[in-house]
Amino acid sequence: MSQQVHARLLVTVWLGQLVSLVGSSLTGFVLGVWVYQQTGSVAQFSLIFLANTLPAVLLAPVAGVLADRWDRRWLMLASDTGAALGTALLAVLVATDSLAVWHIWLVTAVGAGCSTVHQISYQSMTPALVGTRHLARFNALTQVSRATQIAAPLLAGTLVVTIGVGGVLLVDLGTFTVAALTLLLVRLPAEATRPAPGRVREPLRREAAAGWRYLRGRPGLFDLMVLFGAYNFLFGIAGVLVQPLILSFASAETLGVLMFAGGAGLFVGSLVMGAWGGPSRRITGVFLGLTLGGVALVGHSLAPSPWLIAVVAPLFLFTLPIVNTSAITLIQTKTEPAVLGRVLAVARVGGDVSLLVAYLLAGPLADGVFEPLMRPDGRLADSVGALIGTGEGRGTALIFAVAGVLMVLLVGLGWARRPLREVDALADALPAPDGKPPAGPEQPADAAATDPPAGPAAGDPVATDPTAAGPADPATEPDTPPVVRST
């Protein structure tokens, strides 16, 4: 079966998943509104975000092992089923007038865990289905899926008035059915959905750490993970504070319009990446997106103007698909298929931990540090205040300026790391577009200066476990010994 046929099958699966994602977005918005209306507590409302993020951090390593051990199509079906059962439980609780806030936290956590398994399984089988030529375009489809969520508040507001919370939950259950039927009816090739034959199984804890070991042996990919974690942290800071920033000088109605405009930028960026595929050197796409994104973040701070935000917010979110698509495509093409699920799990953990830290720090930094500095009588009123103004919201604006500058500095730091700068030179783990096999295995840096070591005995895990491979290609070795850093 040709890769063109494989790609069509994947598009069909993606469309089914897109329908399910829209339904889940409707449910998430409606339940969040319900919690706030019932409690009036921002703290209880914010716990929904924690319940949606923490399980992903805890379960991603296990999800990576499962994606490399079991049939990925059935993992996706199982995760969809688990999420649907949680939604069905909420529908019953609403129908019996028994719904409580803790029910929503619990089901949100279960859904987040299921989503983690689903996403890692989906991303693990995508490279084998579409190959290197169109992989970036298919990754951009995921960004289009995220962009469709901008319509959820508009549609959910209408639905909750007409059919109520219970009706929205039933709609969500219907979308789960569409996604499940698509996965059941589409015949995906076994080489994409099933783990590599002959793979040696190890204890769960060791397998869960295999992605980390694999990355530590490839400094370029490891540095990419560190860069991506730092980017997620800065993105998370901006995501938490953009609404308070806008509300400091505009109405709630204006906020809604500007948030929609920002989402439109994400949508357009996704379409551009889907049509273009990004630069041939993926790391160039990462650096380009970071640079433009940093400039756009600084732009948020220049003046308390809705017109300014209407320009810089879409520009910033336009860069998100460029960075995400380029980074995930690099990971998928440079990672051995047998360990891809576990490497993707490391990426997921690093990104989500960065977001969690950003969520925890953003509020205290704004209220306790930067806002007092930018009051009319604050310490920075006569210096920075002369440039961006003083008063309510200007401290938050200063955070945007600092985050933007740091994002641009990330590009300089990344470029200074030779393994990251040359990460595209790593051997591809996927066949080339012309059907040729990937380049040969990477050689240790001192291979030319030493005799080859004795090969492993038959059946030795080193012979089949890509996490036990040697150091990266000498062309990508750093000029100085790599610094041990943690994501």
pLDDT tens digits along 234-293: 998 998 888 889 888 988 678 878 888 888 898 899 889 988 888 989 999 999 999 999
Rounded-to-integer distance, Cα 207 and Cα 373, Å: 48
Tokens of 137: 């375009």
What kind and span of H or E run contains 459? Answer: none
Q: Is residue 451 part of a domain?
A: no
Q: Closest by alpha carbon to 221, among 103, 327, 76? A: 327
Do 147 and 4 lie in a common domain? Answer: yes
Q: Is residue 378 part of a domain?
A: yes
Which residue did the predictor score with more confidence, 468 or 236?
236
Rounded-to-integer distance, Cα 19 and Cα 169, Å: 14
- Check: pTM over 0.85? Answer yes or no: no
Rounded-to-integer distance, Cα 61 and Cα 42, Å: 31
Q: Is residue 105 part of a domain?
A: yes
**Which of the residue ranges 216-220, 413-417, 458-462 would you say has the lowest mean pLDDT?**
458-462
Confidence at residue 352, expressed as pLDDT on a 0 to 100 scale: 86
Average pLDDT score over residue span 351-355: 89
Q: By CB neighbour count within 10 A (0-12 exposed, 13-18 middle, 19+ buried), where does 376 fall?
A: exposed
Confidence at residue 441, expressed as pLDDT on a 0 to 100 scale: 39
Backbone torsions φ then ψ of 374, nearest 5 degrees? -105, 15
Are 258 and 457 in contact by the 8 Å Cβ rule? The answer is no
Are 298 and 387 in contact by the 8 Å Cβ rule? The answer is no
Are 307 and 392 in contact by the 8 Å Cβ rule? The answer is no
Do 282 and 142 lie in a common domain? Answer: no
Query: Is pLDDT at 69 greater than 60 in this prediction?
Result: yes
Query: Is pLDDT at 204 greater than 80 in this prediction?
Result: no
Confidence of residue 155 (pLDDT cuts 50, 70, 90): confident
Q: Closest by alpha carbon to 6, among 135, 117, 116? A: 135
Do 236 and 119 lie in a common domain? Answer: no
User: What distances in angstroms separate CA 175 from CA 124, 164, 181, 296, 457, one per listed residue?
Assistant: 23, 17, 10, 36, 51
Are 474 and 445 in contact by the 8 Å Cβ rule? The answer is yes
Confidence of residue 2 (pLDDT cuts 50, 70, 90): low
Q: Is residue 180 part of a domain?
A: yes
Do 304 and 404 lie in a common domain? Answer: yes
Q: Which of 201-205, 317-321, 359-363 has the highest mean pLDDT?
A: 317-321
Average pLDDT score over residue span 456-463: 32
Query: Is pLDDT at 474 greater than 70 in this prediction?
Result: no
Confidence of residue 327 (pLDDT cuts 50, 70, 90): very high
Indicate the residue among 165, 191, 217 that finishes a domain.
Answer: 191
Do 100 and 139 lie in a common domain? Answer: yes
Do 216 and 325 lie in a common domain? Answer: yes
Do 9 and 152 lie in a common domain? Answer: yes
Plot region of 439 (φ>0 → left; ψ -120 to 50 → alpha; else → beta): beta
Confidence at residue 451, expressed as pLDDT on a 0 to 100 scale: 35
List, in order, residues 6 or more apart from 39 with CB less than 8 Å away: 45, 101
Rounded-to-integer distance, Cα 429 and Cα 132, Å: 10
Query: Is pLDDT at 23 greater than 60 in this prediction?
Result: yes
List, in order, residues 6 or more apart from 99 with CB less than 8 Å away: 34, 90, 93
Do 148 and 268 lie in a common domain? Answer: no
Q: Is residue 3 part of a domain?
A: yes
Indicate the residue among 191, 219, 238 that finishes a domain.
Answer: 191
Rounded-to-integer distance, Cα 30 and Cα 26, Å: 6
Rounded-to-integer distance, Cα 466 and Cα 442, Å: 11
Confidence at residue 463, expressed as pLDDT on a 0 to 100 scale: 31
Do 228 and 107 lie in a common domain? Answer: no
Backbone torsions φ then ψ of 11, nearest 5 degrees? -60, -40
Q: Is residue 332 part of a domain?
A: yes
Do 246 and 172 lie in a common domain? Answer: no
% of the chain with per-residue pLDDT over 90: 35
Query: Is pLDDT at 437 greater than 70 in this prediction?
Result: no
Q: Is residue 331 part of a domain?
A: yes
Which residue did the predictor score with more confidence, 108 or 22?
108
Q: Closest by alpha carbon to 117, among 452, 283, 448, 344? A: 344
List, in order, residues 6 or more apart from 178 with CB less than 8 Å away: 16, 19, 20
Please report, for the domain that includes residue 418, its CATH number: 1.20.1250.20
Confidence at residue 482, expressed as pLDDT on a 0 to 100 scale: 28
Rounded-to-integer distance, Cα 121 and Cα 76, Å: 7
Query: Is pLDDT at 424 greater than 50 in this prediction?
Result: yes
Rounded-to-integer distance, Cα 280 and Cα 433, Å: 13
Confidence of residue 462 (pLDDT cuts 50, 70, 90): very low
Q: Is residue 198 part of a domain?
A: no
**Full residue range of the structural domain in which residue 97 is found:** 1-191
Do 295 and 328 lie in a common domain? Answer: yes
Question: What is the Cα gyration radius of the chain?
Answer: 23
Query: Is pLDDT at 312 greater than 90 in this prediction?
Result: yes
Confidence of residue 207 (pLDDT cuts 50, 70, 90): confident
∠ Cα 486 327 336 (to 5°):
80
Q: Which residues of 79-104 are buried (b: 16+ CB within 10 A; e: fewer)?
A: bbebbbebbbbbbebbeeeebebebb
Confidence of residue 50 (pLDDT cuts 50, 70, 90): confident
Are 14 and 119 in contact by the 8 Å Cβ rule? The answer is no
Confidence of residue 436 (pLDDT cuts 50, 70, 90): low
Number of independent structural domains in the chain: 2
Query: Is pLDDT at 445 greater than 50 in this prediction?
Result: no
Query: Is pLDDT at 343 greater than 70 in this prediction?
Result: yes
Indicate the residue among 152, 167, 191 that finishes a domain.
Answer: 191
Query: Is pLDDT at 303 greater than 90 in this prediction?
Result: yes
CA 148 to chain centre: 15
Interhelix angle 152-162/3-39, nearest 10 degrees: 60
Rounded-to-integer distance, Cα 94 and Cα 82, Å: 19
Are 297 and 437 in contact by the 8 Å Cβ rule? The answer is no
Query: Is pLDDT at 459 greater than 50 in this prediction?
Result: no
Do 431 and 368 lie in a common domain? Answer: yes
